[in-house]
Amino acid sequence: MIDTHAHLFDDRFASDLPAVLARAEAAGVERVVCLGIDAESNRATLRIANSHPLVVAAVGIQPNHVAEAAPGDWDDVVRLAESEPCVVAIGETGLDRYWDRAPFALQEEYFARHIALARRLGKPFVIHCREAEADVVKVLRAEFEKHGPVRAVMHSFSGDAATAGACLDMGLYVSFAGMVTYKTAQQLRDVAAGVPLDRLLVETDAPYLAPVPHRGKRNEPGYVVHTAACLAEVKGVPVGVIDEHTTRNAKLLFGLE
Ligand SMILES: [Zn+2]
């Protein structure tokens, strides 16, 4: 299994990251994609990926952090993405209308930069979308019409079936996190049921939003198995089938071996 989205640089992992990754491996996780959200976490992500064979990296400036980005921070993203072999994707990037932390126009400008960088380097990009589904689909549609199928993932998907359908039509992958396991998330499970196995990904978004039965605790990559088990139930297939497909999809999208 591959945890396609985690933030291992978080302080909550500072004291026990090797143990966290050992537990992930014991649970059957063969790779973790660690995503930076700003200049400092991008550098930390690189340090982690370069010292743990289980971890690969993505670099970017997350939409809620674009306002505080210093001059040079974007150049750093570009430099790391161009020069570091463990960088497999660009992000996380995207749009967020839930937190009012950065002017929306600035988020849009950074989203466009990430997409252009990903295209130039032939790497996928990772999309954060919170209460901005229509805006994100509009940007992706423009990209799709100009350049064809979009090599990207909608991370921790929380939109509706129409949004998922629009993304699938443009070639994207749809990734589910712990939220899909929550009792009240039947609507999201219904959306997941409609995502074909060859476009499905799983993730933790650790340290946030741990899946049931760990809800409320610090999330960690090994817990991705609970999200996979939930998706297996939703789709009426053995968990091995979810494991096999999501692993293959993640390897294809991120170019992993
Ligand atoms: Zn994230």
> Given this model, what pLDDT does residue 257 score?
84
> Given this model, what pLDDT does residue 128 score?
98
Kindly give the distance from the C-alpha atom of residue 228 to the centroid of ligand 1, in angstroms, as a whole number: 18
Tell me which residue has tokens 């990926």: 49
List strand residue ranges (DSSP E) for the chain, in order.
2-6, 31-35, 55-59, 87-96, 125-130, 152-154, 173-176, 200-202
Kindly give the distance from the C-alpha atom of residue 250 to the centroid of ligand 1, in angstroms, as a whole number: 16
CA torsion angle 210 151 68 48 (round to 10): 60
Kindly give the distance from the C-alpha atom of residue 37 to the centroid of ligand 1, in angstroms, as a whole number: 7
Residues lower than pLDDT 50 in the chain: none
Kindly give the distance from the C-alpha atom of residue 156 to the centroid of ligand 1, in angstroms, as a whole number: 8
SS3 257: coil
First to last CA, the chain: 13
> Given this model, what pLDDT does residue 6 score?
98
Kindly give the distance from the C-alpha atom of residue 28 to the centroid of ligand 1, in angstroms, as a whole number: 22
> Given this model, what pLDDT does residue 100 score?
84
214-221 contacts, C-beta under 8 A, 24 or more apart: 215/178, 215/181, 215/182, 218/12, 219/178, 220/6, 220/13, 220/20, 220/23, 220/24, 221/3, 221/6, 221/8, 221/20, 221/21, 221/24, 221/29, 221/32
Residue 215 makes CB contacts below 8 A (sequence gap 6+) with 178, 181, 182
**What is the CB-side half-sphere exposure of residue 249 using CA atoms within 13 A?**
26
SS3 99: coil
pTM: 0.97
Kindly give the distance from the C-alpha atom of residue 126 to the centroid of ligand 1, in angstroms, as a whole number: 9
Kindly give the distance from the C-alpha atom of residue 205 to the centroid of ligand 1, in angstroms, as a whole number: 5
Widest distance between CA atoms in the chain: 50
Kindly give the distance from the C-alpha atom of residue 201 to the centroid of ligand 1, in angstroms, as a whole number: 14
